[in-house]
Structure 1
Amino acid sequence: MLAASAVSTVLIGTSAVTTAAAPEPRGVRDSVHTAGRVKDAGDVLQYSWPGVYFEGRIRGTGVGVVLDDPAADYDVQVDGATVATLTAPGRTTHWVRGLREGVHTVRLVKRNDTPWSTSAFGGFVAAPGGAVLARPAARSRQIEFIGDSLTAGYGNLSASRDCDGEQLKRTTNADVSYGALTARGLRADYQINAYSGQGMVRNYNGGSPEVNYRTFYDRALLNVPGDVWQKPGTWRPRLVVVHLGTNDFSTPVNPGEPWTDESLAAAYRSAYSGFLAKLRGRYGPATTILAVGTGPFAGHVEHVVQERTAAGDRGVRYWPLDTNGLDYSGCHWHYSARDHRLLADRLTAFLAGLPIRW
């Protein structure tokens, strides 16, 4: 059991004691709603991808958030308002106290991508005299976002483009990425399956050539080789957005890499086509797959979509991402929070013209 071995308290309104309460006896999965890729380990839910969120309901004047995570950052939201940001909290129960008596919604969201680490959530607990209530209902709409650092919200809250590692961790927030904003605007549950630095066939600057994004896509726990996420029958997204290619082509091929410009382009198109076929096999013909193209890989993505369409798959669509007006003022010239808002608006407008069968 992930016990409440450490206690931190947020006061809202009145003062409160810090007496810890044990987690409710029910299973964690039964008391929270999540659409993220999680692994049920009994008394905890484990996960690695950014943007994973958990939603619950409690009655009473306080709620505890049970965590074991030495690497990731989180936002804690109560009744729609962010009341705390937790920085690499470790093994703890974080308490929010001083709530008005009554029923409250609580949401915990993982802000950043920490693929080298496994996160663990032990559920929400109520303050003495309160109770954990039935979990919120799942939303009828579901969207999956697949991508790299641009999709993860890499450094999107930074005030400067020059960031060290610590600043990058603190200023990355997948909860205000274009994917999360789009999904919430459409009242959809979502996954942000994004891995910074990874490409379809070639990673940023040719790094770690033994792996690429496709190596990790099937996993729930990114740092566990061979791990496979057990997709629940409840996860049936009617929209999958694929935004991969920036890392494949954003840097010149280095001496010693097994690519020429031509062979890299051919390998990218082949892998992209195979990846779309895999998604189609997983989710079936009712799911719209939106392939995002921009910059040096836009033509390759469009070519693959045209081939898929010619082969009879009319559920694959091409979105030419409009970068006009973006300031790229996030860490290392990534999308800023303002850019993510603009992209969410543009994506939402584009989706309105698609025959998506929600």
Structure 2
Amino acid sequence: MIFLNSSFRKYSLPLLLWCGAFLGGCAGSKSVSVSAQDERLAYMGRVGKPTAETTELYWSGTSVKLNFEGTGVQARLKDNTGNSYYNVILDGDSITVIQPDTVQKLYDLAAQLQPGKHTLELFKRTEWDKGTTTFYGLELAPNTKLLPAPAPPKRRIEFYGNSITAGYAVHDYSGKDSWRGLNTDNYVSYAALTARRFNADYTCICKSGIGITVSWEKDIMPELFNRLNPSDPASQYDFSRNPAPDIVVINLLQNDSWIINLPNNAEHKRRFGNARPSPETVAAAYQNFVKQIRAVYPNAHIIAALGNMDIVKSGSVWPALVQKAVEDLQDSKIHTLVMPYKNTPGHPRVEEQQAMANQLITFIEEKIQW
């Protein structure tokens, strides 16, 4: 059991299996099917709609929320890899985990509850490169009914980041810093924690290893940020048809700071050839990305954040580079936030993510009226 905070008292990690006993209880005409696009379901994040009856979940932190009255709910899911994990948050308190199979199946989200009203959220804890999940809808237990959708949040916050924002290896205290299994968990990332603190609609556009000028893999954030399906370069997100965030947080450059010093790295060679990019080149690229965000969100506050890994340790040139890039934009709604160096091996763990969230929350409360 891991304690997050007073609002989320219980955190357990048992894997929920396909529950045959529950299926038997829903046999015949007594069960009720609900489409994945039913208006009583509330989605957060960028969600695909490949058919009139299904949705696709790609990005870390994407979620579907529902209110219901009764004793049990199942979800019909299929993952293209079988490597995706989801948190199931019941009544804002207890959290369990499911791992959808590559074959379409029904999974218990809640079963054998006391009759009454309940809330439920299915939250994608893993990154998009680990799998895309197709959601075919819900099956409601006998005498269970879906209630109107939760009221939409009044605030909206969107994040662009790398492995830190993804919650990579956040539960791995073995020293291996591994993403495998249940180690990665966007739900306890500083980004998700901040969104929940403000009861804000949450979108997280992140990828471990990604940068602004160069990444450990092919895509860089300026090429990826406007996709609906991150795996498909032709899949474009329509910014004009969706509500704009009040705040956008950008926490990038950690990977750039390493790769630009590795001339033999394949992505370095592909992006820069044999020459190391100058600080001015990186600063210009950072500015251009911020301008891309400003172009699609003309009224949002933008927080240019750095931290909490070695990009912000003592002697690093990167905080000053970002500060100068932001100042040169002369935009009063673009802010700079440097989070302290955590000074521990590997990626930030749960308590370090919480510390980042605390700092970001305080910064927003003090600097931004929303």
Question: Normalization by structure 2: what TM-score?
Answer: 0.83
- Report the CA distance shift for 1:120/1:267 in structure 2 as closer, same or farther (over 3 A): farther
CA change 1:83–1:248 in 2 (3 A) is closer
> SS of 1:34's equivalent?
strand
**2:289 is equivalent to residue 275 of structure 1:** yes
94-103 or 334-343: which moved more? 94-103
Aligned residues, how many? 332
Question: Residues 341 and 327 from structure 1, CA distance in 2 versus in 1: closer, same or farther, beyond 3 angstroms?
Answer: farther
Partner of 2:13: none
Task: Please state how far the C-alpha of 1:55 moved relative to its aligned partner.
Answer: 0.5
Indicate the residue corresponding to 2:40 in structure 1: 31
Shift of 1:271: 1.8
Partner of 2:14: none
Q: Which residue of the partner structure matches residue 92 of structure 1? A: 105
The residue identity in structure 1 corresponding to 2:305 is V
Matching of residue 55 in structure 1 with residue 65 in structure 2? yes
- Root-mean-square deviation over aligned CA pairs: 2.4
Q: Quick one: distance in 1 between partners of 2:145 and 2:281?
A: 55
Write out per-residue CA displacement over residues 21-70 of structure 1, whole angstroms, 9 at most, x where no aligned residue.
Answer: 4522x552512111210112321111311111110011111111221122
| Paired residue secondary structure (2:250) | strand
Tell me if the contact between 1:29 and 1:45 (Cα under 8 Å) persists in the aligned partners: no
Hey, what's the Cα distance between the residues in 2 that align with 1:215 and 1:29? 32
Counterpart code for 2:196? R
Query: Which residue of 238, 242, 245 corresponds with 2:253?
Result: 245
Residue type of the alignment partner of 2:176: D
Of 196, 204, 210 in structure 2, the residue corresponding to residue 198 of structure 1 is 210
1:161 corresponds to which of 158, 175, 179: 175
CA–CA distance in structure 1, aligned partners of residues 255 and 69 of structure 2? 47
Deviates more, 1:137-146 or 1:27-36: 27-36
Identity of aligned residues (%): 24
After TM superposition, give the deviation of residue 266 of structure 1 in Å.
2.9
Unaligned runs of 5+ in 1: 1-6
1:341 corresponds, among 338, 347, 354, to 354
Distance change (3 Å), C-alpha of 1:63 and 1:27 = closer
Matched with 1:68 is: 78
1:125–1:132 contact (8 Å) kept in structure 2: no
Q: Among 73, 80, 95, which residue is 2:92 paired with? A: 80
Q: CA deviation at 1:88?
A: 4.0
Compare 132-141 and 262-271 and name the one that shifted more: 262-271
Could you tell me whether the CA contact under 8 Å between 2:77 and 2:100 is conserved in 1? no
Determine the C-alpha separation between the residues in 1 that align with 2:155 and 2:326: 24
User: In the aligned structure 1, how far is the partner of 2:116 from the partner of 2:367?
Assistant: 42
Q: Which amino acid aligns with 1:245?
A: L
Secondary structure of the structure 2 residue equivalent to 1:171 = coil
Q: Structure 1 residue 121: deviation in Å?
A: 1.8
Task: State the structure with bigger RCO (CA 8 A, min sep 6), 1 or 2.
Answer: 1
Identify the residue that residue 26 of structure 2 maps to in structure 1.
19
1:246-325 correspondence runs (5 A):
246-251=254-259, 252-255=261-264, 257=269, 258=272, 263-284=277-298, 286-294=299-307, 295=311, 296=316, 297-309=318-330, 313-323=331-341
**Contact preservation (8 Å) 2:58, 2:229:** yes
CA distance in 1, matches of 2:77, 2:285: 38
> Under a length normalisation based on structure 1, what TM-score does the superposition of the two structures give?
0.85
Structure 1 residue 16: deviation in Å? 8.7
Please list the CA deviations of residues 108-136 of structure 1 after superposition, one character each: whole Å capped at 9, or x if unmatched.
00011032632222233321221122111
Query: Residue 221 of structure 1 is aligned with which of 206, 214, 229?
Result: 229
Instruction: Give the letter for the 1:36 counterpart.
Output: G
250-259 or 147-156, larger mean C-alpha shift = 250-259
